Chains A and B, each alone.
Chain A
Amino acid sequence: MSVHALTDSWTMTRRELARWQRQPVQLAVGLVFPVMLLLMFGYLVGGGRGVAGDYRDYLIPGMLALTMAFGLEGTMIAVTQDLDKGVIDRFRSMPMANGAVLVGRSAADMLQSVLTLLVLIAVGAALGWRPGGGPAALLGALGLLLLFRFAMLWIGIHLALVAGRPELVQAVQILVWPVGFLSNAFATPGSMPGWLGTAVEWNPLSHTATAVRHLFGVPGAESGHVGWAFLWPLALLAVFFPLAVRRFARLSR
């Protein structure tokens, strides 16, 4: 490990920020997409099955969690592009801290996720939605959402290092979307056929969504999910963080 770990990580984070500055449109599209999903499900598709009360109170926490899950794709695309362009080879041939490439990636993706969450919440507020529970609950909810995103991030890095090429990202997208929609983001598991409902209840995304609903005071969201919304991401991190780090070190095999 080198003494430059912090400065190198910061330099790598700034690299990502510079890319945003260069491509504001891309950044904006990334922010607008979840907003569109929210509007689509909130107004076009209409109320979710099995949801009592105001559908927006149910949907917005679900959308926040779903957006964090879809972040996996963005992480994967960025990492595979770097691998494909050979720029990671240049980083690895330089006397920089080994982990800085991955730390920079995480920092930038987490920053983008914070931005996305704030935009979604602002759009919700503009539509008249008000989260209950006060500022502490809001911070707690953001914390759980970002913890979930952090787990998705390391799954994304690991999958990107395994896949290696941008073409293979599409294959993963085909998997991410069903997992995203096989959750309680839009509708309650009780409204689904037995086995599907069970899968949806197990989905970590469902736990995070329900925990956020609980913190926001949505009726019917049980407090027990807050614990699961902690444990699931930590368990995923315990598996995928070391796998990704090992995979990165093994680029030299």
Chain B
Amino acid sequence: MADAAITVEGAEKRYGAKKALDGLDLTVARGTVHGVLGPNGAGKTTLVRVLSTLLRPDAGRIRVAGHDVVREAYAVRLRIGLLGQHAALDEELGGRQNLELFGRLHHLGARRARARADELLERFGLAGTGRKAVRQYSGGMRRRLDLAASLITEPEVLFLDEPTTGLDPRGRAEVWNSVRSLVGAGTTVLLTTQYLEEADQLADRISVVDAGRVIADGTADELKAATGGDRIDVVLRDADRLDAAVALLPLTGITVDADRRLLSAPVTDRMEALSAVVRALEQAGIQAEDVALRRPTLDEVFLHLTGDDTRMKEAA
């Protein structure tokens, strides 16, 4: 793609015998938000560190904002912003001092660095807290300041490595809103996440990554469609009857969430499956609280793609 902000071809990175990136390919179009979705250890951070020139790849051709990350690292650094997995701030300095410091290191000059710091504090709702030491910030505030620091020069390409991991729901919403407001400005965003909801909410396209390679690629809808469409959910009144219901329902691939008294399974013919389920439950005298047809969640898509059902049971 000629107009790609990021192209990765055959990226490899080994730590000893461990292949953190194992022939990863990726293309991100300019001005889009691209989600990189994968479990812990999939290689997301390694990918972001390679893209942001912090880590040299062992192999592969990798270009960001039109420049090679190895041979033209300086040119890449002029055009990117990075929000690492962990806050990259000077904890002892105040919020404004941090932003001014990074502004000066971007060679804005003293006056513009100061003005830019004020502007960003305002924009991220931190205007009243600029003097406080970052050490005293809440998790959400810190993440927003970190995000502000990665936007000092309005980068062409912004990397966000698990921007909301460890935040409470409110902090997460704050960061999501900030990311959404960037998209309008034409910035290309590559965002990694373990939260399928986050990728679904923020990303135009999603690459699902496992063991250092991309195992699926597409829009959220395309990924959902790829895993066979609709599902049926049955909530029982009585958790004791779950086993009985699993045994007698005319469905395959049933997953059970005991806490929610929920059975879930993929279906091919929606109406036929619905009436068959209702009939079977009625005949066996098992009472249902709810029976519903729905599209698969991204969680199910992910589990389908990685072929690892144990993960969902652990999560449930």
Contact = CB atoms under 8 A, between A and B. Distances in A.
Given A85-B87, A89-B84, A90-B88, A95 B77 contact: yes
Interface stretch (A11-19, A39-47, A64-72): A11-19
A43 to B, nearest CB: 35
A94 B106 contact: yes
B105 interface: yes
B104 A11 contact: yes
A14 B222 CA distance: 52
B54 interface: yes
Q: Decide if the interface of chain A is mainly helix, strand, loop or mixed.
A: helix
Given A2-B74, A7-B107, A95-B77, A252 B90 contact: no
A252 B105 contact: no
Interface in B55-84: 55-56, 74, 77-78, 80, 82, 84
Interface in A4-44: 4, 7-8, 11-12, 15, 18-19, 22-23
A87 interface: yes
Identify the interface centre among A4, A90, A91, A100: most chain B CB within 10 Å of its CB.
A90
A22 B102 contact: no
Given A18-B97, A252-B55, A253-B56, A94 B88 contact: no
Interface in B94-108: 94, 97, 101-102, 104-107
A251 B82 CA distance: 17
B106 A90 contact: no
B54 A89 contact: yes
Contacts of B167: none
Contacts of A87: 88-90
Nearest to B152: A94
Contact of A252 (B54, B89, B93, B149): B54
A96 B84 CA distance: 18
A55 B82 CA distance: 57
B93 A19 contact: yes
B304 interface: no
Interface in A196-242: none
A95 B90 CA distance: 18
A86 interface: yes
B131 to A, nearest CB: 10
A61 B85 CA distance: 48
Sort A-B residue pairs by CB-CB distance and give the 5 closest, nearest first. Answer: A90-B88, A86-B88, A95-B77, A93-B82, A96-B105
